Structure 1
Amino acid sequence: MVRTRIKETPTFRSWEDVDNALREIAEAEIDLLDIEGEMNKQLQGVKLTAAQEAKPIQERIKVIGKDIKAFVEEHRGELDGKTKTLNFGKTGFRKSTKVMLPKAKDKLAVIIKSLKARKMNDCILTTETINKDVLKKYTEDEIIRVGATLKKEDTFWYETDREKLQAFQQ
């Protein structure tokens, strides 16, 4: 069997054909915007309705949760260890430990300095990344010397003029 190479021939034969294709794309984009706009309106309505229906249920759950907490705190001595298993769930207490750090940068700097002095470097997060946008500003030789490369290519693009099309259609 002999392999046959199929040559692709361009669909468009003139700039007018390309302009008509751009018009078709602009019309399709306008249709999509209309569809997406209608979809977003409907989604907002559904979300609003669901939020209104859920609000009293969420409030009831919150009130019941507070009442359960108050009861369990009052009857803490009756727990089996730290947990009480009931028919429809469990309740109890668990030990929760949090490390609290000050928000002020100067106080954080003091803590970091203290951690370094005590060789507790595993407590310090350090993230190093390469800023490609800044690196791109250097010459190609400098970029290659540090081990990076530049990839240059012509990238096709097109842009439709929807406003012009909408004005033309009116």
Structure 2
Amino acid sequence: MARYKPNIGKIKTLEDANLALKEIGLLEHELEAIDGEANKKIAEIKADCAKQGEGLRKRITDLSALLGAFAEYNREELFKDRKSQKLSFGEFGYRKSTAIS
């Protein structure tokens, strides 16, 4: 099968080049308007999702603090042989820099 190559015309003069540049500018302006509207909608969606997830993020922070306090209080018993405890739903550890996975 032969390749299809569309015929889009030719630029023969400086006036043709100038008109092509004008069209490029107008098309880029339209694209910027479309992208701007999309970015506005994306920002609204992100703000709405952040508001919806606010309680969940707060709960995660609270539970993480509780796990940290539990690890600190029971560190001698839980971390005498290793620095992490693997459980069914993840692991937590006692280190100078704390992380929960």
Unaligned runs of 5+ in 2: 1-8
TM-aligned CA deviation for residue 95 of structure 1: 5.8
**Alpha-carbon separation, structure 1, partners of 2:85 and 2:28:** 60
Give the equivalent residue in structure 2 for 1:46.
45
TM-score, with length taken from structure 1: 0.44
Secondary structure at the counterpart of residue 34 of structure 1: helix
Name the amino acid aligned to 2:87. L
1:92 matches 2:96? no
**Alpha-carbon separation, structure 2, partners of 1:32 and 1:12:** 24
Name the amino acid aligned to 2:68. K
> If each structure's helix is expressed as a fraction of its own residues, which one has the higher value?
2
Name the amino acid aligned to 2:89. F
The structure whose RCO (Cα within 8 Å, separation 6+) is larger is 1
Give the equivalent residue in structure 2 for 1:77.
76
**Alpha-carbon separation, structure 1, partners of 2:61 and 2:71:** 15
**Alpha-carbon separation, structure 2, partners of 1:58 and 1:19:** 55
**Alpha-carbon separation, structure 2, partners of 1:88 and 1:34:** 47
Give the equivalent residue in structure 2 for 1:66.
65
**Alpha-carbon separation, structure 2, partners of 1:95 and 1:12:** 68
Give the equivalent residue in structure 1 for 2:6.
none
Give % identity: 36
Answer with 1 or 2: which has the greater Rg.
1
TM-score, with length taken from structure 2: 0.69
